[in-house]
Amino acid sequence: MKTCCLFAMAACFVSASVLAYPRSGGTLTAVRLHGKAGGLVSGGAWTSNSMIGKVRVVFYVDPDEKELNDHVGLAIEKAKLDRAYYGSVAIINMGATWLPGFAVARALKAKQKRYPRAVYVKDFKKQLVKRWGLADHGYDVIVLDAQGTVLYYGRGKLSQAQTKRVVDTLREAVAESKKNAEEAKTQ
């Protein structure tokens, strides 16, 4: 009997952790980062609802892993997506790093220069690890459509095939968003 109870408890924990990450076709729980919890690198609060209205790629990054998926950013940059319908958000898991805050701030300034249109956010309290099931000490990539539906989710270093899938998914979502906007103008 004890073995059955222990097995059932273990199954519950495993199934809960398996379900705790973003799933294609689902949406993300609304999150607001402000004050001691984090916020925009440029200052002020950030809310996940601000991502609605454009296709988004979200990078959730442990600063210790910041270069892990640089190839994904470069591939997206080469795709030359229409910025009227697309945007990127880099959320830094500040609670996951051993690096001092000034070193992370310097790295963020360099990234902001390289990607001036990206939105940079700090998560000091690991809220997105808790609320979205993202990697605590890793690197997550999420593609969202303009309504906030998850189209793609990847964790860790993305392969070339996964990178191509991210770019293709973004292209398709931007094309769909553009088509919907044009149809709305004619009605």
Average pLDDT for 29-42: 94
Cβ burial of 156 (10 Å; 0-12, 13-18, 19+) is middle
Asked whether residue 8 is domain-assigned, the answer is no
Whether this model's pTM surpasses 0.85: yes
pLDDT higher than threshold 50 for residue 4 = no
Q: How many domains does the chain have?
A: 1
What would the DSSP string read from start to end of the chain? -HHHHHHHHHHHHHHHHHTTS--TT-BPPP-EE-GGGEEETTSS-EEGGGGTTSEEEEEEE-GGGTTTTHHHHHHHHHHT--TTTEEEEEEEEGGG--S-HHHHHHHHHHHHHHSTTSEEEEETT-HHHHHH---TTSEEEEEE-TT-BEEEEEESS--HHHHHHHHHHHHHHHHHHHHHHHHHHH-
Asked whether residue 10 is domain-assigned, the answer is no
What are the pLDDT digits (tens) for 114-124?
788 899 999 99
Range of the domain at 83: 21-186
Asked whether residue 14 is domain-assigned, the answer is no
Asked whether residue 6 is domain-assigned, the answer is no
The CATH number of whichever domain residue 178 belongs to comes to: 3.40.30.10
Asked whether residue 3 is domain-assigned, the answer is no
Asked whether residue 46 is domain-assigned, the answer is yes
Asked whether residue 1 is domain-assigned, the answer is no
The residue with greater pLDDT, 75 or 106, is: 75
Report angle CA 175, 179, 183 to the nearest 5 degrees. 175
Asked whether residue 87 is domain-assigned, the answer is yes
Q: Look-up: residue for tokens 């999150």?
A: 31
Which tokens hold the place of 112?
């902001």
Least confident residue range of 8-12, 33-37, 88-92, 103-107:
8-12
What are the pLDDT digits (tens) for 86-102?
999 999 999 898 878 78
